[in-house]
Amino acid sequence: MHTWNRTLTVSGINSPELRRDYTTQRALVAGYRRQTYLAVRLLLPPTVVPHVVAAVAFMHHTDTLLDTTPADAAEGDTYDAWEAEVRDALATGESGHPVLRPLLHTLTAHPRLRSPVEQFLAGAPFDRDFTGFADEAEYQRYVDAYSLPAFMLLASLLLAPDVDQGETERACRSFIDGSQRLDFVCDLAEDLRDGRLGLPEQTLKGHGVSRQDLEQGNDTPGVRALLREMLGLARRDLLASRVLPDLVAPPYRAFTRAFVTLEVLMADAATAEGTGVLRAPASPSPPAALRVVARAYVRRGR
């Protein structure tokens, strides 16, 4: 694995200011999911790593603003101000913001990233205004409008240019549907404290479960059945997306295979946790996650 400074150099990132920006965003991205960041560093060619960091950092910064902007925030601290700043940066190709400067540089190296960025911004109101879903159809609209464009910020950097478009869309849609549903289960405790619920109300009713049952962490047959159903659907969609490694460029296949497998591990960990996810997020054991990355690293070497 290249040192970080060497990674920046081989990626053609020579400006001291840009090197600082990418380095700052790298530290933030590494803190989100350490096993996934380890897979990025070990399994992706160094020439694409800073660009993955820039895209993921932009997505997380935007997502955090959507989730945390209070109603009485100062004008410059709101999501609306951020969106205006992003759109101005896209129009002019310039920005003084440490999140946007590396993103703009990455767009020069990977111009097809621009469309997912614009689609992600267009779908942001679905997340900003979201407090819950009436039914499964409403959840699926959220996935199409917000979750899928967010995933495409990463996927567009890795997908091979000559793959079948329909197959690619189905695989990416399947992955993010499973991953988003999994996130909503794993984040139940935090989301409920924030007044949000990512499981459709109609599905809760079908299992005889109330929002209060989830808020209170009640371990009932209905709650257990609800969680099994949601996690079963998430795992099904994640497994269906295992064709993704065949759709990315060859240098990115080891990473993509590990990326999907790590998400399946997360689903398995949440299933094993049962109603414990109502009190704290689930996560796979570090040794299991490291084994996934190590196997992919060895296979890549071969």
Q: How far is Cα 154 from Cα 110, in angstroms, rounded to an integer?
A: 11
pLDDT at 213: 96
Reported as type and span, the H/E element at residue 163 is: none
- % of the chain exceeding 90 in pLDDT: 82
- The answer to which of 50-64, 73-87, 163-177, 247-261 has the lowest mean pLDDT is 73-87
pLDDT at 76: 52
- Delineate the domains of the chain, giving CATH numbers in brackets: 1-116 (no CATH), 130-302 (1.10.600.10)
In 3-state terms the chain splits into helix, strand, coil percentages (rounded to 5) of 75, 0, 25
263: pLDDT strictly greater than 50: yes
Task: Work out the average pLDDT over 273-300.
Answer: 91
pLDDT grade, residue 8 (50/70/90)?
Answer: very high
72: pLDDT strictly greater than 50: no
Q: What is the pLDDT of residues 141-174, one digit of tens each?
A: 999 999 999 999 999 999 998 889 999 999 999 9
CA-only gyration radius of the chain, Å = 20
Q: What is the pLDDT of residues 215-260, one digit of tens each?
A: 999 999 999 999 999 999 999 999 999 999 999 999 999 999 999 9
pLDDT at 280: 87
pLDDT at 71: 46
Q: How far is Cα 26 from Cα 42, in angstroms, rounded to an integer?
A: 14
pLDDT at 33: 81
pLDDT at 1: 67
pTM for the full model? 0.92
Q: How far is Cα 278 from Cα 159, in angstroms, rounded to an integer?
A: 36
Q: For residue 197, which phi and psi values (nearest 5 degrees)? A: -140, 115
pLDDT grade, residue 281 (50/70/90)?
Answer: confident
pLDDT at 148: 97
Q: What integer best gives the mean pLDDT of the chain?
A: 93
